[in-house]
Structure 1
Amino acid sequence: MRRWLLSVAALVAVTMVTTAIPAGASNSWNNYHWNRATSSTVLRLAILDSVTSTWDASLSQANADWNRSPVFENTVTASDTSTTTRRSCPASTGRVRACNYTYGQTGWRGLAQINLAGGHIAWGTTKVNDSYSWTSAARRHVMCQEIGHDYGLDHQFTNAGSCMDYAGIDDPAYVSPNTHDYNQLVSMYNHGHGTAAAASGPSTTAIVTGDTVTSVLWTD
């Protein structure tokens, strides 16, 4: 089993610079995706709600926004919200679990983790970090983005009003997916019984933009 993590972390000092991705470029996360029986099968995943009431509305809205894609008709399902569960955010095969907790000054506000099995995403988790202060727009932006990562989407760098963009964390114009995100999902999920791209070996990749670093980490 392979685990991948996608995190957003603010750095004090960054010297690396990357080139912005063109608006028409792919924001697929290495083509990782859930198994789909046919190209027309609608995926109906359970999104396990292990967040407290301060995050419920953001999770529900993120699910509704992503369900506008023809690929998904997912359902938010009440789950354990105990401190123990929210701290560890345990994975559940075939599902996505969302959790909030005071994870500490980690440098990230949101963390998405997926596990690959048989070439497809087997489960996903989303963590949002209560150790930082949040505006209403930031809650929606980060929850939407981390759930998007759990579906196999990477970031956009286009400043085009998407929650998958680095820009606009506190901007109400960046709290939901945009047309590019929906089109990307259709492209990624346009087949049945496909095989997601797999890493050839342990590796770590860091993408640095301004004062933000995105890390994709492979572990046993």
Structure 2
Amino acid sequence: MIRKFFVLSLLVVFLASFAPIVSATHSWGNYHWGRTANPFTLKLGDNVSNAWDSFLGTTSSDWSQSAVLDTSIVPGLANPKNCRPTSGRVEVCNSKYGKNGWLGLAQIWASGSHIYQGVTKVNDTYFSTTKYNTPAWKNLVMCQEVGHTLGLDHQDENFSNTNLGTCMDYTNNPAGPPSNEYPNAHDYEELGIIYEHLDSITTVSQTKSSIASGNFENRSDWGKELKNNGKVAVYERDFGEGHKLFTFIIWAED
């Protein structure tokens, strides 16, 4: 009996050593939207074509399952070609941005620790190719880039391991199984942690004079490289006096 228990214990330890370790610790620094109450509603400006409307709709609906925030799709205020930000909200755009290397891009502008505007772009130059023109890839990239504008980082950045079942996990096979097209429980848990406290100010739906106006669509505009493993990258541009721009990139494979 003792021997059986010992063997069983070893088996449990052995299997546990191969289980993927996930935890709700994937916020991006301390950056978050300022607000004085939960849940709050963040506007997503719809600057996407009909081909992307359903994917933006799915992303908005999925992130709105969070207990601390909702997202609402509203008419866009940007030209999709350059997708300039609008204070107090996130502009979402698609266009053929060219063979610049990136498949998807998210940007957040922050003052101190508070996000005050954001942008999500998906590059149809690559999404028109056979590899990326699939519902799974479109869901993953749209979901992940909007997730960055909420203050989330990635749960995992290994493209070759087993999917974690979240769009905040990088993968070579977003359809899975399991699917990496949508948020999972850890994402909602992390949002709860990020927005657990309340602020004395709000940056949601507020007009703020931006110190950083412009397109910021080229590598030369993004500032210091914080991370780049050839598949994903993060950049930081410091404008001084606590104002920063963060750019999150998913690189395409030609």
**By the TM > 0.5 criterion, same fold?**
yes
Q: When the two structures are superposed, what TM-score results if normalisation uses the length of structure 1?
A: 0.78
Q: Percent identity?
A: 39
Q: Name the counterpart of 1:90.
A: 84
Shift of 1:87: 1.0
How big is each residue's C-alpha offset from its partner over 1:111-162, in whole Å with a ceiling of 9 and x where there is no partner?
0000012430001100000001221111111000000000011112173110
Larger displacement relative to structure 2 (160-169 or 180-189): 160-169
Q: When the two structures are superposed, what TM-score results if normalisation uses the length of structure 2?
A: 0.68
1:117-136 aligned within 5 A: 117-132=111-126, 133=129, 134-136=133-135
How big is each residue's C-alpha offset from its partner over 1:53-79, in whole Å with a ceiling of 9 and x where there is no partner?
010000010000000001112210122
Aligned length: 187
Shift of 1:213: 2.8
Q: Are 1:73 and 2:67 counterparts?
A: no
Q: Name the counterpart of 1:112.
A: 106
Q: Distance in 1 between matches of 2:200 and 2:194?
A: 10
Q: Name the counterpart of 1:42.
A: 39
Q: Are 1:193 and 2:212 counterparts?
A: no
Q: Name the counterpart of 1:206.
A: 227
Q: SS where residue 86 of structure 1 aligns?
A: coil
**Is the 1:135–1:170 Cα contact (8 Å) retained in structure 2?**
no
Q: SS where residue 87 of structure 1 aligns?
A: coil
Q: Name the counterpart of 1:163.
A: 167
List gaps (5 residues or longer) in structure 1: 1-20, 196-201
**Is the 2:42–2:72 Cα contact (8 Å) retained in structure 1?**
yes
Query: Based on CA coordinates, which of the two structures has the bigger radius of gyration?
Result: 2
Q: Name the counterpart of 1:215.
A: 234
List gaps (5 residues or longer) in structure 2: 1-19, 157-161, 202-222, 240-254
Q: Distance in 1 between matches of 2:200 and 2:140?
A: 30
Tell which has more relative contact order, 1 or 2 (C-alpha 8 A, sep 6+).
1
Larger displacement relative to structure 2 (162-171 or 123-132): 162-171
Q: SS where residue 90 of structure 2 aligns?
A: strand
Q: Are 1:62 and 2:68 counterparts?
A: no
Q: Distance in 2 between matches of 1:79 and 1:187?
A: 30
